[in-house]
Amino acid sequence: MAAFERILYEVEEGVAVITLNRPEKRNALDDRTIAELHEAFAVAGSDDDTRVVLLRGAGPAFCAGADLAQLERIAAGAGPLENLDDAAALGDLLVRMRRLSKPIIAAVHGQAFAGGAGLATACDLVVASDDAEFGYPEVHLGFVPAMVMALLRRVCGEKVAFELVARGDRIGAEEARRIGLVNRIFAAPTFHDDARAYARELASRSPSALRLIKRLFYGIDGASFEEAIARGAEVNVLARTTEDTREGVRRFLARRSRA
């Protein structure tokens, strides 16, 4: 496994826990952090012992967004192609997260702003502390949350997504859940334990079913109704041939025969 400087990586009970570990910078995303996240997701994807990934932040915040000091240096001292490479690194990370065969859960406490909110949005599931705050405030800097729009408009719809990025307001955990950004809210004092328990519970589900669910769920994005049904039929056939399904059916029939 690669040696990490900006993140922590551990696996417990089928869950790969990736922790952003720049608490003094509120876990701001610099090029090194993004590169290490690429590596960590690659490790999780290839590890048979990992069924679910939990992404969290060390210290008082999940992630405050891009490292603005680095962004200023690159914007001022590099040309268009260098700036494009820098932006593409984050874009490629969001794509990698979508393509990872295993579910990714964001555990958001404190602040998740700008690129940090985008990172959470890119996860398949989001659990939040009841004191968490989300926001896409780039507009206040004359900047644009450009890549996350591809995700945000799918998650909460056009009108809500446009307002979030055009106004740049902060919203709390309850509002984030209301508009579809958050799945579950846990109390702050026990948040990290509850988030890990949530991830472990998901990891107890059939690994082959979880992989097929994620593959189909995003694979039908943009497909017509007929295409989505056809792809669903194909995955249905694949699922029938897995040992997890065969064993699950056997267990169910055995329980029913004993009832």
Residues with active-site annotation: 138
Are 28 and 61 within 8 A, CB to CB? no
Given the DSSP bridges, would you call strands 7-12 and 170-172 parallel, antiparallel or unpaired? unpaired
Strand partners, 106: 55, 126
Cβ contacts of residue 82 below 8 Å, gap of 6+? 74
d(C-alpha 168, C-alpha 162), whole Å = 10
d(C-alpha 1, C-alpha 23), whole Å = 23
Are 20 and 93 within 8 A, CB to CB? no
Q: 80-99 vs 31-46: helix axis angle to the nearest 10?
A: 30
Token pair, residue 38, equals 């690429």
Are 108 and 165 within 8 A, CB to CB? no
Are 90 and 145 within 8 A, CB to CB? no
d(C-alpha 239, C-alpha 259), whole Å = 27
Token pair, residue 253, equals 């029939």
| C-alpha dihedral (123, 127, 130, 131), degrees to nearest 10 | -30
